[in-house]
């Protein structure tokens, strides 16, 4: 057991080091071909800024602001990256090429982000704290549109793609992804509608990526297998 834990700690450290290492200048595989997902059509436009629906959205943000706990604040301040999901994978990380895994999923995330940022810009919805002075965010947020939530999108994509390598971890991965999205409302940087739209978009992006030959080849190359249960 001690040997497994030591090896797992080394793998997590290696993933962290890889995140800061300069990337090699090679052509990146295309995991999300241009136009493969029409997110704008999929999620539709948000409610009008002065509509009753938006007032309901604000009311939810303010209620969560009033009731949030220190534990929730700590959770929402945690960085969203592959390392956030790594503890859920247990010894399964030892059965794959961890560096290749990280590079593959990170590149897919880069392509997803480039696509949804354009949608955010088109809808141009301001974040709650930018529109309403009574909203008190507990973290910084990128100066981009609120709708849809990029964190909600990326969390779902991370979980879905990792599930292709570690199918036995799917439920835990998806639950963390959902909580990451919901946490953005607790943090005061998104409306609930941003999260719902983001999660819907995240699944669409993941569906498109998983069907690409480049990603299927990566799954085979990296050697994803069913992860053993933690503690076995």
For 159, other C-beta atoms within 10 Å of its C-beta total 25
Q: What's residue 22's pLDDT?
A: 52
pLDDT (tens digit, 9 = 90+) per residue, 147-159?
999 999 999 999 9
Stated pTM of the model? 0.86
Cβ pair 129, 137 in contact under 8 A: yes
Residue range 14-34: mean pLDDT, rounded: 65
Give ∠ CA 176-83-175 in degrees, rounded to 5: 10
Across the chain, mean pLDDT equals 88
Q: What is the pLDDT of residue 231?
A: 44
Q: Return d(Cα 153, Cα 110) in angstroms, integer.
A: 12
Q: What is the arithmetic mean of pLDDT over 133-149?
A: 94
Which DSSP string do the residues of the chain spell out, in sequence order? -HHHHHHHHHHHHHHHHHHHSPPPS-PPP-SS-TTS--HHHHH-PPPPTTSHHHHHHHHHHHHHHHH--HHHHHHHTS--SHHHHGGGGGGGGGGS-HHHHHHHHHHHHHHHHHHHHHHHHHH-PPPHHHH-TT---SS---SS--SS-HHHHHHHHHHHHHHHH-GGGHHHHHHHHHHHHHHHHHTTS--HHHHHHHHHHHHHHHHHHHTSHHHHHHHHHHT--PPPPTT-
Give pLDDT, residue 93.
85
Task: Name the CATH code of domain 2-23+34-222 (choices 4.10.80.40, 1.20.144.10, 1.10.10.2840, 3.40.50.280).
Answer: 1.20.144.10
C-alpha span between 175 and 155 (Å, rounded): 10
Domain ranges of the chain: 2-23+34-222
Q: How confident is the model at residue 25 (pLDDT cuts 50, 70, 90)?
A: low
* Distance from C-alpha of 66 to C-alpha of 134, rounded to nearest angstrom: 11
Distance of CA 66 to the CA centre of its chain: 26
Q: What is the mean pLDDT of residues 73-101?
A: 92
């Amino acid at each position: 057991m001690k040997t497994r834990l030591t090896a797992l700690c080394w793998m997590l450290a290696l993933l962290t080091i890889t995140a800061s290492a300069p990337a090699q200048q090679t052509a990146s595989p295309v995991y999300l071909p241009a136009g493969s997902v029409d997110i704008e059509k999929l999620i539709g436009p948000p409610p009008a800024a002065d509509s009753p629906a938006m007032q309901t959205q604000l009311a939810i943000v303010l209620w969560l602001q009033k009731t949030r706990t220190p534990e929730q604040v700590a959770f929402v301040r945690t960085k969203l990256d592959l390392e956030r999901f790594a503890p859920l994978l247990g010894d399964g990380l030892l059965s794959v090429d961890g560096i290749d895994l990280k590079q593959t999923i990170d590149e897919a995330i880069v392509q997803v982000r480039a696509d949804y940022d354009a949608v955010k810009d088109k809808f141009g919805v301001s974040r709650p704290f930018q529109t309403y002075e009574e909203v008190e965010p507990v973290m910084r947020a990128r100066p981009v549109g609120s709708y849809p939530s990029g964190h909600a999108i990326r969390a779902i994509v991370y979980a879905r793609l990792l599930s292709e390598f570690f199918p036995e971890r799917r439920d835990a991965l998806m639950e963390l992804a959902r909580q990451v999205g919901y946490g953005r409302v607790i943090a005061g940087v998104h409306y609930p509608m941003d999260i719902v739209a983001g999660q819907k978009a995240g699944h669409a992006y993941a569906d498109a990526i998983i069907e690409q030959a480049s990603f299927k080849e990566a799954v085979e190359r990296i050697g994803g297998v069913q992860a053993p249960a933690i503690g076995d």
